[in-house]
Structure 1
Amino acid sequence: MDAELFPRSRTEIAPGAVHVPDWLDGARQRELLAACREWARPPAGLRTVRTPGGGTMTARQVCLGQHWYPYAYARTVVDGDGAPVKPFPDWLGELGRRAVTDALGPAPATGAAYDIALINFYDADARMGMHRDSDEKSGAPVVSLSLGDTCVFRFGNTETRARPYTDVELRSGDLFVFGGPSRLAYHGVPRVHPGTAPPELGLTGRLNITLRVSGL
């Protein structure tokens, strides 16, 4: 009820880590969802990520620009069908640059262009353990866009997967950017709230699009 009465506001969760609610309007969410559905098609489509220890991630993933696998990047889907990774579109890079400017100001957005996207699909049972985005050579901010079901996004510290951390509710259309002193903070998704996506979006589950600068 409080969320209906009082608009959610931009919040700095930690130095360099900012949550901007409702950053994507409904039309842009639908456009981005349509693009994600195309990117998810094979070849080099949505896949289950296998970890070196033999386990699997519960969130499924597709990559653009460079293919991420634990714990490196490649030009082909080396842990899947072997196809060349799909290209990273210029318009998505511009969206990332605008996201950084809106969240952190113009200075952090003046570096190299965004050239990698990792797109994770969460069904009702999917989770993401605490981890750091540390396989890039660039320290440019990470841009995270949410579509579909609401999730609990746990944003921690740079030293350990344990406390202190802050749980943030990310809804469809929300933006989260982390850079500077928070660029290598541990973060994860302990919970997804099924059935909370906007009905007009037409998505069952949650999509998270993270944009990065490879520095490669």
Structure 2
Amino acid sequence: MNAATDKVMETSLMQRLKQETAFLHDRMEELMAQAEVFENKDNYRQFTLSQYYFQKDVEHLYEDSQVQQLIPDLDVRGRSEAALQDLADLGIKPALSTIATESVQYPQSLGWIYVSEGSTLGAAFLFKAAQEKFGYSADFAARNLAAYPEGRAIVWKRFKQTLDDANFSQQDQQLIIEGAMQGFHRFGELLSQLKELK
């Protein structure tokens, strides 16, 4: 075993995910800034539509029995229904969309879920902006940005612990990281195409 391999083995899966997707996370922040989500209500509507489509992609992965076995609290994690209600508040009915994760398998799927769960932390700032700019709330037009009933940090910490405690092999860890990269790319595509989303 060489020094590089030793270093990888000493690094937890969550640390690897954070480090190896950092450039994609930074790109998301750039795309969010470019999207000017809170510039006007039209931009916010289109952003909510992108949230809905991404959540549908992620929640498709919840149907896998291996995902269900590893993450028993999936029922509190999905946000597509909340996003759909927000879209109804905003006067939008999403067009039928294909699911981007149809061919994604376990454990790669966990990387997609990582991207979704991580986004709930950043959503705290988005939720505050939606309240301040437009008067939206957890009961109207900003449900999908609201915190989990237990709080964002608690649910995120539990998810991180679950992944680290699973002791995935290096091969499986790499698949999960690849899945996270796919998830970031997918959401990046949605953000890049906000104005065209239907």
Give the structure-1-normalised TM-score: 0.27
Q: Which has the higher contact order (CA 8 A, sep 6+)?
A: 2
If each structure's helix is expressed as a fraction of its own residues, which one has the higher value? 2
If each structure's strand is expressed as a fraction of its own residues, which one has the higher value? 1
Flag the structure with larger Rg: 2
